[in-house]
Amino acid sequence: MYSSQELIKINDEYGAHNYLPLPIVIKEGKGVWVIDAEGKRYMDMLSAYSALNHGHCHPDIIKVAKEQLEKLTLTSRAFHNDKLPLFLKKVCEITKMEMALPMNTGAEAVETALKAARKWGYYVKGIKKYEGEIIVATNNFHGRTITIISFSSEEQYKDGFGPFTPGFKLVPYGDIDAVKSAFNENTIGVMLEPIQGEGGIIIPSDGYLKQVKEICKENNALFILDEIQSGLGRTGKMFAYEWEDAKPDLIILGKALGGGIMPVSVVASSKEILGVFHPGDHGSTFGGNPLGAAVGIAALDVLVKDDLPGRSLEMGKYLTEKLKTLKSPDIKNIRGRGLFIGIELKVPARGYAEKLMEEGILCKETHDYVLRFAPPLIITKEEIDWAFERIEKVFENGL
Protein backbone atom coordinates (compact mmCIF):
# COMPACT_ATOMS: atom_id res chain seq x y z
CA MET A 1 0.00 0.00 0.00
CA TYR A 2 1.29 3.41 -0.96
CA SER A 3 0.47 6.61 0.88
CA SER A 4 -0.87 9.61 -1.03
CA GLN A 5 2.47 11.35 -0.63
CA GLU A 6 4.37 8.40 -2.05
CA LEU A 7 2.00 8.12 -5.01
CA ILE A 8 2.30 11.83 -5.77
CA LYS A 9 6.08 11.48 -5.71
CA ILE A 10 5.98 8.55 -8.15
CA ASN A 11 3.62 10.53 -10.36
CA ASP A 12 5.97 13.53 -10.43
CA GLU A 13 8.92 11.27 -11.20
CA TYR A 14 7.39 9.24 -14.04
CA GLY A 15 4.58 11.41 -15.41
CA ALA A 16 4.91 14.38 -17.73
CA HIS A 17 4.08 17.57 -15.86
CA ASN A 18 1.29 18.82 -18.09
CA TYR A 19 -1.09 19.16 -15.10
CA LEU A 20 -0.87 20.71 -11.65
CA PRO A 21 -3.42 18.64 -9.68
CA LEU A 22 -4.48 19.37 -6.13
CA PRO A 23 -2.46 17.16 -3.77
CA ILE A 24 -5.12 14.48 -3.29
CA VAL A 25 -5.02 10.87 -4.46
CA ILE A 26 -8.48 9.39 -4.99
CA LYS A 27 -8.95 5.67 -4.75
CA GLU A 28 -12.74 5.24 -4.63
CA GLY A 29 -15.83 7.14 -5.68
CA LYS A 30 -19.56 6.76 -5.22
CA GLY A 31 -22.14 9.37 -6.20
CA VAL A 32 -20.84 12.81 -5.22
CA TRP A 33 -18.28 11.35 -2.79
CA VAL A 34 -14.69 10.21 -3.22
CA ILE A 35 -12.22 8.64 -0.79
CA ASP A 36 -8.49 9.29 -0.78
CA ALA A 37 -5.65 6.82 -0.22
CA GLU A 38 -5.80 7.44 3.55
CA GLY A 39 -9.55 6.90 3.72
CA LYS A 40 -10.59 10.56 4.06
CA ARG A 41 -13.89 11.46 2.38
CA TYR A 42 -14.40 14.45 0.07
CA MET A 43 -17.26 15.83 -1.98
CA ASP A 44 -16.46 16.11 -5.68
CA MET A 45 -17.70 19.49 -6.86
CA LEU A 46 -15.81 19.43 -10.14
CA SER A 47 -17.22 16.22 -11.65
CA ALA A 48 -14.27 15.76 -14.02
CA TYR A 49 -15.26 18.96 -15.83
CA SER A 50 -18.84 17.62 -16.24
CA ALA A 51 -17.86 14.13 -17.39
CA LEU A 52 -19.31 12.91 -14.07
CA ASN A 53 -22.78 14.46 -14.35
CA HIS A 54 -24.18 11.09 -13.24
CA GLY A 55 -21.82 10.94 -10.24
CA HIS A 56 -19.12 8.37 -9.60
CA CYS A 57 -19.91 4.76 -10.45
CA HIS A 58 -23.62 5.22 -11.13
CA PRO A 59 -25.10 1.76 -10.41
CA ASP A 60 -27.30 1.58 -13.53
CA ILE A 61 -24.41 2.51 -15.82
CA ILE A 62 -21.92 0.24 -14.05
CA LYS A 63 -24.38 -2.65 -14.42
CA VAL A 64 -24.69 -2.13 -18.16
CA ALA A 65 -20.92 -1.73 -18.50
CA LYS A 66 -20.22 -4.93 -16.56
CA GLU A 67 -22.69 -6.93 -18.63
CA GLN A 68 -21.22 -5.56 -21.84
CA LEU A 69 -17.64 -6.23 -20.65
CA GLU A 70 -18.45 -9.91 -20.40
CA LYS A 71 -19.93 -10.04 -23.89
CA LEU A 72 -18.19 -7.83 -26.42
CA THR A 73 -15.99 -4.75 -26.10
CA LEU A 74 -14.50 -3.89 -29.48
CA THR A 75 -15.12 -4.73 -33.11
CA SER A 76 -13.71 -1.71 -34.99
CA ARG A 77 -15.96 -0.25 -37.66
CA ALA A 78 -14.84 -2.92 -40.13
CA PHE A 79 -17.85 -4.84 -38.79
CA HIS A 80 -21.19 -3.87 -37.31
CA ASN A 81 -21.87 -4.44 -33.63
CA ASP A 82 -25.26 -4.81 -31.98
CA LYS A 83 -24.99 -1.72 -29.72
CA LEU A 84 -23.82 1.10 -31.98
CA PRO A 85 -26.99 1.37 -34.11
CA LEU A 86 -29.13 1.72 -30.98
CA PHE A 87 -26.75 4.29 -29.52
CA LEU A 88 -26.87 6.39 -32.70
CA LYS A 89 -30.67 6.21 -32.76
CA LYS A 90 -30.86 7.32 -29.13
CA VAL A 91 -28.44 10.21 -29.71
CA CYS A 92 -30.55 11.37 -32.66
CA GLU A 93 -33.77 11.16 -30.65
CA ILE A 94 -32.34 13.20 -27.77
CA THR A 95 -30.60 15.80 -29.94
CA LYS A 96 -33.49 15.89 -32.47
CA MET A 97 -30.98 15.33 -35.24
CA GLU A 98 -31.00 12.93 -38.19
CA MET A 99 -27.56 11.39 -38.12
CA ALA A 100 -24.65 10.96 -35.74
CA LEU A 101 -20.97 10.05 -35.93
CA PRO A 102 -19.30 8.48 -32.88
CA MET A 103 -15.81 9.21 -31.65
CA ASN A 104 -14.11 8.91 -28.26
CA THR A 105 -12.74 12.12 -26.80
CA GLY A 106 -14.21 15.57 -27.08
CA ALA A 107 -11.33 16.91 -29.15
CA GLU A 108 -11.87 14.15 -31.73
CA ALA A 109 -15.54 15.04 -32.00
CA VAL A 110 -14.63 18.72 -32.46
CA GLU A 111 -12.19 17.75 -35.23
CA THR A 112 -14.93 15.62 -36.77
CA ALA A 113 -17.38 18.53 -36.74
CA LEU A 114 -14.77 20.80 -38.33
CA LYS A 115 -14.05 18.23 -41.05
CA ALA A 116 -17.78 17.76 -41.74
CA ALA A 117 -18.29 21.53 -41.87
CA ARG A 118 -15.35 22.10 -44.19
CA LYS A 119 -16.40 19.34 -46.56
CA TRP A 120 -19.96 20.67 -46.55
CA GLY A 121 -18.53 24.11 -47.33
CA TYR A 122 -16.70 22.88 -50.41
CA TYR A 123 -19.08 20.20 -51.73
CA VAL A 124 -22.50 21.56 -50.76
CA LYS A 125 -22.13 25.32 -50.36
CA GLY A 126 -19.57 25.49 -53.16
CA ILE A 127 -16.80 27.54 -51.54
CA LYS A 128 -13.57 27.52 -53.53
CA LYS A 129 -11.09 24.87 -52.26
CA TYR A 130 -9.41 25.59 -49.77
CA GLU A 131 -10.53 29.10 -48.96
CA GLY A 132 -13.15 28.21 -46.35
CA GLU A 133 -13.25 29.99 -42.99
CA ILE A 134 -14.80 29.00 -39.71
CA ILE A 135 -15.58 31.74 -37.20
CA VAL A 136 -14.74 30.99 -33.57
CA ALA A 137 -14.76 33.00 -30.35
CA THR A 138 -12.00 34.37 -28.17
CA ASN A 139 -11.56 32.64 -24.81
CA ASN A 140 -12.79 29.38 -26.39
CA PHE A 141 -11.90 25.91 -25.26
CA HIS A 142 -12.51 23.08 -27.72
CA GLY A 143 -9.66 20.69 -26.90
CA ARG A 144 -5.94 20.26 -27.35
CA THR A 145 -5.15 19.00 -30.85
CA ILE A 146 -2.92 21.14 -33.02
CA THR A 147 -5.83 22.25 -35.21
CA ILE A 148 -7.95 23.16 -32.20
CA ILE A 149 -5.23 25.10 -30.40
CA SER A 150 -4.57 26.87 -33.70
CA PHE A 151 -7.65 28.98 -33.02
CA SER A 152 -7.22 29.32 -29.27
CA SER A 153 -6.77 32.85 -27.92
CA GLU A 154 -4.88 31.47 -24.93
CA GLU A 155 -1.17 32.05 -25.49
CA GLN A 156 -0.07 29.17 -23.25
CA TYR A 157 -2.17 26.63 -25.17
CA LYS A 158 -0.22 27.49 -28.32
CA ASP A 159 3.26 28.39 -27.17
CA GLY A 160 5.79 26.10 -28.76
CA PHE A 161 3.29 24.07 -30.77
CA GLY A 162 3.21 25.80 -34.16
CA PRO A 163 2.95 25.84 -37.13
CA PHE A 164 -0.80 26.16 -36.82
CA THR A 165 -3.80 25.19 -38.95
CA PRO A 166 -5.21 28.13 -40.95
CA GLY A 167 -8.85 28.75 -41.82
CA PHE A 168 -10.21 30.13 -38.54
CA LYS A 169 -11.30 33.64 -37.65
CA LEU A 170 -11.44 34.72 -34.02
CA VAL A 171 -14.07 37.20 -32.87
CA PRO A 172 -14.80 38.41 -29.32
CA TYR A 173 -17.20 36.04 -27.53
CA GLY A 174 -20.65 37.52 -26.98
CA ASP A 175 -20.24 40.30 -29.56
CA ILE A 176 -22.89 39.86 -32.22
CA ASP A 177 -21.63 42.69 -34.46
CA ALA A 178 -18.18 41.11 -34.53
CA VAL A 179 -19.71 37.88 -35.80
CA LYS A 180 -21.62 39.80 -38.47
CA SER A 181 -18.57 41.62 -39.74
CA ALA A 182 -16.46 38.44 -39.81
CA PHE A 183 -18.73 36.91 -42.44
CA ASN A 184 -17.73 36.78 -46.10
CA GLU A 185 -18.41 34.53 -49.09
CA ASN A 186 -15.92 31.96 -47.76
CA THR A 187 -17.57 31.55 -44.39
CA ILE A 188 -18.41 27.92 -43.71
CA GLY A 189 -19.89 28.45 -40.28
CA VAL A 190 -19.53 29.61 -36.70
CA MET A 191 -18.50 27.33 -33.84
CA LEU A 192 -19.15 28.33 -30.23
CA GLU A 193 -19.64 27.02 -26.71
CA PRO A 194 -23.11 28.12 -25.51
CA ILE A 195 -21.43 28.88 -22.17
CA GLN A 196 -17.65 28.99 -21.98
CA GLY A 197 -16.69 26.46 -19.33
CA GLU A 198 -12.90 26.44 -19.26
CA GLY A 199 -13.00 30.14 -20.10
CA GLY A 200 -14.49 30.79 -16.65
CA ILE A 201 -18.25 30.01 -16.86
CA ILE A 202 -18.84 32.90 -19.25
CA ILE A 203 -22.52 33.27 -20.14
CA PRO A 204 -23.21 35.41 -23.22
CA SER A 205 -26.02 37.94 -23.06
CA ASP A 206 -29.54 36.72 -23.85
CA GLY A 207 -30.24 36.35 -27.53
CA TYR A 208 -26.60 36.03 -28.61
CA LEU A 209 -26.82 32.40 -29.69
CA LYS A 210 -30.12 32.93 -31.41
CA GLN A 211 -28.77 35.90 -33.32
CA VAL A 212 -25.65 33.99 -34.38
CA LYS A 213 -27.92 31.21 -35.57
CA GLU A 214 -29.94 33.67 -37.63
CA ILE A 215 -26.86 35.23 -39.20
CA CYS A 216 -25.68 31.75 -40.14
CA LYS A 217 -29.02 30.98 -41.70
CA GLU A 218 -29.10 34.22 -43.70
CA ASN A 219 -25.62 33.46 -45.05
CA ASN A 220 -26.10 29.75 -45.73
CA ALA A 221 -23.48 28.95 -43.10
CA LEU A 222 -23.42 26.33 -40.36
CA PHE A 223 -24.15 27.05 -36.71
CA ILE A 224 -22.02 24.63 -34.69
CA LEU A 225 -22.31 24.25 -30.93
CA ASP A 226 -19.76 22.53 -28.74
CA GLU A 227 -21.91 21.22 -25.89
CA ILE A 228 -19.27 18.83 -24.61
CA GLN A 229 -19.28 20.51 -21.20
CA SER A 230 -22.54 22.49 -21.21
CA GLY A 231 -24.72 19.70 -22.59
CA LEU A 232 -26.44 16.67 -21.07
CA GLY A 233 -28.13 18.43 -18.20
CA ARG A 234 -25.32 20.53 -16.78
CA THR A 235 -27.07 23.91 -17.16
CA GLY A 236 -30.52 22.79 -16.05
CA LYS A 237 -31.69 21.88 -19.56
CA MET A 238 -30.70 18.87 -21.61
CA PHE A 239 -28.69 21.25 -23.83
CA ALA A 240 -27.56 24.77 -22.98
CA TYR A 241 -28.86 26.07 -26.34
CA GLU A 242 -32.41 25.38 -25.12
CA TRP A 243 -32.12 28.46 -22.90
CA GLU A 244 -32.40 30.44 -26.14
CA ASP A 245 -34.13 27.97 -28.39
CA ALA A 246 -31.08 28.11 -30.68
CA LYS A 247 -30.77 24.58 -31.99
CA PRO A 248 -27.52 24.25 -33.96
CA ASP A 249 -26.87 22.61 -37.32
CA LEU A 250 -24.20 20.47 -35.70
CA ILE A 251 -23.98 19.60 -32.02
CA ILE A 252 -20.88 18.13 -30.40
CA LEU A 253 -21.24 15.99 -27.26
CA GLY A 254 -18.73 14.17 -25.09
CA LYS A 255 -17.76 14.10 -21.41
CA ALA A 256 -20.99 12.96 -19.62
CA LEU A 257 -21.97 10.92 -22.68
CA GLY A 258 -19.51 8.34 -21.35
CA GLY A 259 -21.42 8.09 -18.05
CA GLY A 260 -18.23 8.80 -16.10
CA ILE A 261 -16.78 5.49 -17.26
CA MET A 262 -15.02 5.94 -20.56
CA PRO A 263 -14.56 8.44 -23.36
CA VAL A 264 -17.59 8.56 -25.65
CA SER A 265 -18.22 11.51 -27.95
CA VAL A 266 -20.41 12.20 -30.91
CA VAL A 267 -21.28 14.77 -33.57
CA ALA A 268 -24.98 14.88 -34.44
CA SER A 269 -26.42 16.78 -37.38
CA SER A 270 -28.56 16.50 -40.51
CA LYS A 271 -28.26 14.00 -43.34
CA GLU A 272 -27.22 16.85 -45.62
CA ILE A 273 -24.24 17.73 -43.45
CA LEU A 274 -22.99 14.39 -42.11
CA GLY A 275 -23.86 12.91 -45.51
CA VAL A 276 -20.65 14.48 -46.84
CA PHE A 277 -18.69 11.60 -45.29
CA HIS A 278 -18.17 8.60 -47.54
CA PRO A 279 -16.45 5.32 -46.64
CA GLY A 280 -12.79 6.03 -46.00
CA ASP A 281 -13.17 9.78 -45.44
CA HIS A 282 -12.88 9.68 -41.68
CA GLY A 283 -12.81 7.20 -38.83
CA SER A 284 -11.61 5.99 -35.46
CA THR A 285 -10.61 2.50 -34.33
CA PHE A 286 -12.38 2.79 -30.99
CA GLY A 287 -15.16 5.19 -32.09
CA GLY A 288 -18.54 3.46 -31.83
CA ASN A 289 -17.18 0.47 -29.91
CA PRO A 290 -19.92 -1.68 -28.35
CA LEU A 291 -18.78 -1.03 -24.77
CA GLY A 292 -18.83 2.74 -25.30
CA ALA A 293 -22.14 2.52 -27.17
CA ALA A 294 -23.77 0.49 -24.38
CA VAL A 295 -22.43 2.89 -21.76
CA GLY A 296 -23.59 5.86 -23.84
CA ILE A 297 -27.11 4.45 -24.10
CA ALA A 298 -27.18 3.86 -20.33
CA ALA A 299 -25.84 7.37 -19.66
CA LEU A 300 -28.58 8.94 -21.80
CA ASP A 301 -31.26 6.68 -20.28
CA VAL A 302 -30.30 7.71 -16.74
CA LEU A 303 -30.28 11.41 -17.72
CA VAL A 304 -33.85 11.12 -18.97
CA LYS A 305 -35.22 8.64 -16.42
CA ASP A 306 -33.85 10.51 -13.39
CA ASP A 307 -34.49 13.92 -14.98
CA LEU A 308 -30.96 15.09 -14.28
CA PRO A 309 -31.49 18.34 -16.23
CA GLY A 310 -34.46 19.13 -13.94
CA ARG A 311 -32.42 18.26 -10.86
CA SER A 312 -29.61 20.48 -12.08
CA LEU A 313 -32.03 23.38 -12.47
CA GLU A 314 -33.53 22.94 -9.01
CA MET A 315 -30.33 22.18 -7.11
CA GLY A 316 -28.46 24.83 -9.09
CA LYS A 317 -30.92 27.47 -7.92
CA TYR A 318 -30.63 26.22 -4.36
CA LEU A 319 -26.84 26.27 -4.35
CA THR A 320 -26.55 29.60 -6.19
CA GLU A 321 -28.89 31.30 -3.73
CA LYS A 322 -26.81 30.02 -0.85
CA LEU A 323 -23.54 31.08 -2.48
CA LYS A 324 -24.95 34.58 -3.01
CA THR A 325 -25.26 34.97 0.76
CA LEU A 326 -21.48 34.60 1.15
CA LYS A 327 -19.97 37.75 2.55
CA SER A 328 -16.36 37.94 1.49
CA PRO A 329 -14.37 40.89 0.20
CA ASP A 330 -12.60 38.43 -2.14
CA ILE A 331 -15.77 37.66 -4.16
CA LYS A 332 -16.34 39.72 -7.30
CA ASN A 333 -19.42 37.95 -8.65
CA ILE A 334 -21.30 34.68 -8.77
CA ARG A 335 -22.86 33.42 -11.98
CA GLY A 336 -24.19 30.24 -13.38
CA ARG A 337 -26.95 28.19 -14.92
CA GLY A 338 -28.14 25.07 -13.19
CA LEU A 339 -25.25 23.37 -11.46
CA PHE A 340 -22.73 25.13 -13.70
CA ILE A 341 -21.59 27.85 -11.31
CA GLY A 342 -18.57 30.13 -11.22
CA ILE A 343 -17.45 32.38 -8.39
CA GLU A 344 -15.22 35.09 -9.75
CA LEU A 345 -12.69 36.24 -7.18
CA LYS A 346 -10.49 39.29 -6.81
CA VAL A 347 -7.64 37.02 -5.73
CA PRO A 348 -6.20 33.92 -7.43
CA ALA A 349 -8.66 31.06 -6.91
CA ARG A 350 -6.06 28.36 -6.34
CA GLY A 351 -5.68 29.30 -2.66
CA TYR A 352 -9.42 28.84 -2.11
CA ALA A 353 -9.41 25.50 -3.96
CA GLU A 354 -6.67 24.31 -1.57
CA LYS A 355 -8.49 25.58 1.53
CA LEU A 356 -11.73 23.96 0.38
CA MET A 357 -9.90 20.69 -0.15
CA GLU A 358 -8.73 20.74 3.45
CA GLU A 359 -12.39 21.02 4.45
CA GLY A 360 -13.39 18.11 2.24
CA ILE A 361 -14.64 19.95 -0.84
CA LEU A 362 -13.00 19.30 -4.21
CA CYS A 363 -13.21 22.01 -6.82
CA LYS A 364 -10.76 23.69 -9.12
CA GLU A 365 -9.81 27.13 -10.24
CA THR A 366 -10.31 27.94 -13.89
CA HIS A 367 -8.62 30.89 -15.55
CA ASP A 368 -6.86 31.82 -12.29
CA TYR A 369 -9.64 33.94 -10.81
CA VAL A 370 -12.73 31.74 -11.12
CA LEU A 371 -13.73 28.91 -8.81
CA ARG A 372 -15.99 26.45 -10.59
CA PHE A 373 -18.69 24.62 -8.66
CA ALA A 374 -20.10 21.87 -10.85
CA PRO A 375 -21.02 18.87 -8.69
CA PRO A 376 -22.62 15.73 -10.09
CA LEU A 377 -26.26 16.44 -11.02
CA ILE A 378 -27.47 13.77 -8.62
CA ILE A 379 -26.46 15.90 -5.63
CA THR A 380 -29.13 16.21 -2.93
CA LYS A 381 -30.22 19.22 -0.86
CA GLU A 382 -28.65 17.66 2.23
CA GLU A 383 -25.35 17.25 0.41
CA ILE A 384 -25.49 20.87 -0.75
CA ASP A 385 -26.13 21.94 2.86
CA TRP A 386 -23.10 19.90 3.96
CA ALA A 387 -20.96 21.54 1.27
CA PHE A 388 -22.22 25.04 1.93
CA GLU A 389 -21.37 24.89 5.62
CA ARG A 390 -17.76 24.24 4.63
CA ILE A 391 -17.68 26.74 1.79
CA GLU A 392 -19.06 29.40 4.13
CA LYS A 393 -16.40 28.62 6.73
CA VAL A 394 -13.60 28.87 4.18
CA PHE A 395 -14.82 32.22 2.86
CA GLU A 396 -15.36 33.59 6.38
CA ASN A 397 -11.77 32.76 7.29
CA GLY A 398 -10.36 33.99 3.98
CA LEU A 399 -6.94 33.06 2.70
Ligand X SMILES: *Cc1c(COP(=O)(O)O)cnc(C)c1O
- Applying CB under 6 A, the residues found at the interface with ligand X are 49, 105-107, 110, 141-143, 193, 197-198, 226, 228-229, 254-255
Structural contact between residues 48 and 254, judged by C-beta atoms closer than 8 angstroms? no
Closest separation in Å from C-beta 392 to ligand X: 29
State yes or no: is 71 an active-site residue.
no
Residue 141 falls in the annotated catalytic set: yes
Q: Are 131 and 186 in contact (CB under 8 A)?
A: yes
Which of 90, 119, 213, 255 is an active site residue? 255
Nearer to ligand X, 49 or 87 (CB): 49
- 3-class DSSP state of 272: helix
For the CB of residue 393, give the shortest distance to ligand X in the complex, in Å.
30
- Distance in Å, CB of 356 to ligand X, minimum: 22
Closer Cβ to ligand X, 196 or 355, answer by number? 196
Pairwise CA distance, residues 197 & 388, whole Å:
22
Rounded to whole angstroms, how far apart are CA atoms 165 and 168?
Answer: 8
Distance CA 64, CA 90 (A): 16
Q: Is 247 a catalytic residue?
A: no
Q: How far is the CB of 150 from ligand X (least distance, A)?
A: 14
Give the CB-side neighbour count of residue 354, counting CA atoms within 13 A. Answer: 9
Distance between CA atoms of 202 and 117, rounded to whole angstroms?
25
In the bound state with ligand X, the residue whose beta carbon lies nearer, of 264 and 343, is 264
Number of residues assigned to the chain:
399
The H or E element spanning position 371 is: strand 370-373
Nearest CB to ligand X, comparing residues 255 and 364 = 255
For residue 148, the minimal CB distance to ligand X (Å) is 8
Answer yes or no: are the C-beta atoms of 286 and 262 closer than 8 Å. Answer: no
Give the bridge partners for 332, in sequence order.
none
Q: Is the peptide bond before 163 cis (omega within 30 degrees of 0)?
A: yes
Q: How far is the CB of 109 from ligand X (least distance, A)?
A: 8
Indicate the residue among 267 and 387 with the shorter CB distance to ligand X. Answer: 267
Q: Which residues pair with 340 in a beta bridge?
A: 337
Instruction: Give the strands of the sheet with 331-337, arranged side by side.
Output: 331-337, 340-345, 370-373, 364-366
Q: What is the largest CA-CA distance in the chain?
A: 63
Nearest approach, Cβ of 49 to ligand X (angstroms)?
Answer: 6
Could you say which DSSP state residue 121 is in? I
Nearer to ligand X among residue 56 and residue 355 (C-beta): 56
Nearest-CB residue for ligand X: 106
Neighbours of 8 (CB within 10 A): 16
Q: What are phi and psi of 21, to 5 degrees?
A: -70, 160
Closer to ligand X by Cβ: residue 197 or 288: 197
Active-site option among 36, 44, 226, 249: 226
Which position among 141, 183, 239, 395 bears the catalytic label?
141
User: Which residues are tagged catalytic?
Assistant: 141, 226, 255
